[in-house]
Structure 1
């Protein structure tokens, strides 16, 4: 069993987040600079450039939003458009199989919840370590005993 981290702890794909926010900021600054440098544009056209940059930045901020926050009472899973609060007893298993885009939480009601805050795409070793830590927390805190989580890679 992995070492149980101290609570509260937040898991998030740091590299992916840095790339998305950096790219979004660069696009916003570039489109704003173009809008201000092009002399033949009227104010409405300039605002359209700036608004487009802000819209693209906002979309990338949403993609950078996923995280998993674990505290004494449970886990908050924040995905792109939704977040969900789970008590420790609701989580039966934490899985991250080869080819999975992110961790999945198998829940006591028989459903599975994607937890996009742990993604192996850009940092596989970090994602595996985070998934093991979340699994150790789940096993240590959960009242419901389930099968050991599947972490391969």
Structure 2
């Protein structure tokens, strides 16, 4: 933490990574099992040609790839700023760009209000399976934004 930044209660030590671990585990396990089952079926069916067998494996890889993309989101907070990794995009933010960290009731994930007037979804903190963990992570990220940048208290 910079020497000028006051320590806000509830702010974790940096660097810290926020990610929905339970959701990630479920998605990767399901994807791996689906890949194995679809590949095994494609390779054991006797009436299939070589091209049809390959299409089973390619289809299984597509399912696995899609579930991997869904398990990718995370938010990495460091001294220099925050990196938000969503499904297909990565955005690097300076602390001063983050005005507010929001997780309102019913929100599917955290939203970051930015200094340019836009809002950025941060899918790395989502209350799906682990609601209490997501609330704690949102509070920790809010405390970090308040202590490192121009984040507004409350």
Q: Distance in 1 between matches of 2:69 and 2:97?
A: 26
CA-CA distance at 1:48 after TM superposition: 0.3
Structure-2 separation of matches of 1:78 and 1:145:
20
Deviation at 1:146, TM superposition (A): 2.3
Instruction: Give 3-state SS (helix, strand or coil) of 1:5's partner.
Output: coil
Partner of 1:146: 152
Which stretches of structure 1, 4 residues or longer, exceed 4 Å deviation after superposition?
A: none
Report how far residue 147 of structure 1 moved: 4.5
User: Which TM-score applies when normalising by structure 1?
Assistant: 0.93
Deviation at 1:90, TM superposition (A): 0.3
1:26 matched to 2:40? The reply is no
Aligned residue for 2:121, secondary structure, equals strand
Counterpart of 1:116 in structure 2 is 123
Aligned residues, how many? 147
Unaligned 5+ segments in structure 1 are 149-153
TM-superposition CA deviations, 1:80-105 (whole Å, max 9, x none): 11110000000000000000000000
Does residue 1:130 correspond to 2:146, yes or no? no
Alignment partner, residue 11 of structure 2: 4
- Residue matched to 2:5: none
Structure 2 residues without counterparts, runs of 5 or longer: 1-7
User: Scaled by the length of structure 2, what TM-score is found?
Assistant: 0.92
